[in-house]
Amino acid sequence: MKRRGTHLYLIAGTVSMLLAAHPAAAQQEAPVWLEPTKAAPAGTTYRTFWSKSAGAEVSYLLYLPPGYETSAGRRYPVLYWLHGLGGDQRRGAPIVRDLDVAIRAGRAPAMIAVLVNGQPTSWYCDSTDGRVPVESVIVRDLVPHVDAAYRTIARREARAIEGSSMGGFGAAHLGFKYPELFGAVSILMGALFTPADPPGGLDHAVWSAFGNDAEYYRSNNPWTLLEQNADALRERTHLRIVVGTVDPLYGLNQQYHEQMERLGLTHEFVPIEGVGHNHVELYERMGDEAFTFYVNALAPDE
């Protein structure tokens, strides 16, 4: 474990790097529930659903595997993919491209993928003022909508959540807070800031996602949830952490891996040599290993 001062310095530098890369994330804005361009990158379709939690139509991008339209009786597992800080649902397009190639080559299970509209700075939590209820939109509205609208295997064993950077925080937050909902959790270069080192303590605008409320941040932090729900996760949930060895977030991901070990949670920890904070490069360097995890983690149709 790094000394406290050094640790905070590295975290502050990492946050500054993320904010510099995504200037739009430098302040909380009104939520945009419908992605305005309606762009649907290759392999995806632009879809919307009514969210009671948001009181609005909410967009997402949908990937359906080869054969979905012609195999009327078949049901499929689902991957929910969460973008990073300052991003939007389109950030998952390269993952869908690689997934489609892997499915067609028989290296990945045929599955549905949902690229989530997570807002630029939500950290996949409900905001304390109620204006940006991203967690509720996903858990209460999106997952039931997907199960009702498409031929899914509507069981936790066939439902995975994955995210990069802020989305990695989100995958851990949602996956560990709702172990009854997700049977697989994949954290890519997760922004796994600890309860002791909250973004708010570093005086940047992302802290507003938690209403400057240290207890709210602590209770929704992936470190807290991992410890609280370890028994519900143990031997029931497939877990993975993937991070580049030159990523500024490598140390936090390694420490989270060590915490999983201390709690006796079986999981994969995959350091990718020489990769920085770039989820596209991370996936490319993972190769087939990116999808081997899902071969083992997701229940097939019965």
Q: For the domain 4-25+40-297, what is the CATH superfamily, name and number?
A: Alpha/Beta hydrolase fold, catalytic domain (3.40.50.1820)
The answer to whether 206 touches 169, Cβ cutoff 8 Å, is: no
With CA atoms as reference, report the closest residue to 63 among 103, 113, 109.
Answer: 113
Distance between CA atoms of 187 and 183, rounded to whole angstroms?
13
For residue 148, count other CB atoms closer than 10 A to its CB.
10
8 A C-beta contact, residue 301 and residue 153: yes
> Bridge partners of 302?
none
CA 296 to chain centre: 19
Residue from 302, 294, 254, 287 nearest 110 by CA = 294
Nearest to 179 by CA among 234, 102, 250: 234
**DSSP codes, 71-126:** -TT--B-EEEEE--TT--GGGGHHHHHHHHHHHHTTSS---EEEEE--TTT-TTSB
The number of angstroms, rounded, from the C-alpha of 159 to the middle of its chain's C-alpha atoms is 13
- The answer to whether residue 176 scores a pLDDT higher than 90 is yes
Distance CA 97, CA 221 (A): 31
Taking phi first (over 0 means left), then psi (-120 to 50 degrees means alpha), and beta for anything else, what does residue 62 get?
Answer: beta
For residue 224, give every residue at least 6 positions away whose Cβ sits within 8 Å of its Cβ, in sequence order, or none.
195, 218
Boundaries of every domain in the chain: 4-25+40-297
pLDDT of residue 1: 35
pLDDT of 7-61, one tens digit each? 444 444 555 555 555 544 445 568 999 998 899 999 999 999 999 999 999 999 9
Quick: pLDDT tens for 106-141: 999 999 999 999 999 899 999 999 999 999 999 999
How much is the pLDDT for 208? Answer: 72
For 244-268, what is the mean pLDDT?
97
pLDDT digit string, tens, across residues 281-301: 999 999 888 999 999 899 776
**Does residue 6 surpass a pLDDT of 70?**
no
Write the CB contacts of 252 (distance below 8 Å, at least 6 apart in sequence). 11, 190, 191, 192, 193, 194
Please tell me what DSSP assigns to residue 3: -
Instruction: Pick the more confident residue, 133 or 72.
Output: 133
Residue 203 pLDDT exceeds 50: no
- C-alpha distances out from residue 145 to 93, 126, 275, Å: 21, 19, 36
In 10 A of CB 241, how many CB atoms?
23
Mean pLDDT of 88-96: 92
